[in-house]
Chain A
Amino acid sequence: SAVISQKPSRDICQRGTSLTIQCQVDSQVTMMFWYRQQPGQSLTLIATANQGSEATYESGFVIDKFPISRPNLTFSTLTVSNMSPEDSSIYLCSVLDRGRNTIYFGEGSWLTVV
């Protein structure tokens, strides 16, 4: 399966600051996705990161708060801007592994905002 690396794995952030999470895949993928999992909750899709075009955001998520970059077919970043304690979550990158036609997740970035 595709190997998906995320950085940072964990961080404690001050409110009002911004943090950029990186997602690196070991093979070229057309579509990458960013999810959020708040403590004890399910996963919620934030946006689809498209290479060469702007990300597509789901309802309730906006580009000013969660800017996304997708400079090539193996890499994407998600920035969580002007963080508040409510942003404390696990942020997960996922990709479609076309060889296996299945969706895999990175190990997640565990953010705590204090």
Chain B
Amino acid sequence: GENVEQHPSTLSVQEGDSAVIKCTYSDSASNYFPWYKQELGKRPQLIIDIRSNVGEKKDQRIAVTLNKTAKHFSLHITETQPEDSAVYFCAASINQAGTALIFGKGTTLSVSS
């Protein structure tokens, strides 16, 4: 079955620096790759997603890249701010409709001012 590996497990950066979180997946049939941000005590919030027919997507300070050949995708956050501090989860779809997800183990991002 599908497996999603996420690295690093923790990431500490200074405010204004960039942060990169990487994920690899095993099932070449996966076609949907969302990223979620989860603050303490709250539900996961979708921050950006990408589908397998696209190589890169950007939304203001956040971007996601996908390499289907290598089966990996990455989250890039530029100009980090303290409010970016949270746990970030990558996920990959495990059904053809792209609706059921398997998650990585998460990355705890700490942005210090």
Contacts and interface: CB of A to CB of B under 8 A. Distances in A.
B44 A33 contact: no
A103 B46 contact: yes
B43 A45 contact: no
B76 interface: no
Nearest to B36: A105
B106 A45 contact: no
A38 to B, nearest CB: 12
Q: Which of A41, A59, A105 has the most CB of B within 10 A?
A: A105
19 contacts: A31-B99, A33-B101, A41-B105, A41-B106, A43-B101, A45-B94, A45-B100, A48-B99, A48-B100, A59-B1, A92-B43, A96-B97, A102-B34, A102-B46, A103-B34, A103-B46, A104-B46, A105-B45, A107-B42
Interface residues of B, number: 22
B54 to A, nearest CB: 12
Interface in A79-114: 92, 94, 96, 102-108
B43 A42 contact: no
Interface of B: 1, 34, 36, 42-46, 49, 89, 91, 94-95, 97, 99-106
A92 B102 CA distance: 14
Interface in A30-77: 31, 33, 41-45, 48, 59
Nearest to A94: B101
Instruction: Categorize the interface residue count of chain A.
Output: 10 to 19
Contacts of B42: 107
A26 to B, nearest CB: 16
Contacts of A59: 1
B105 A42 contact: yes
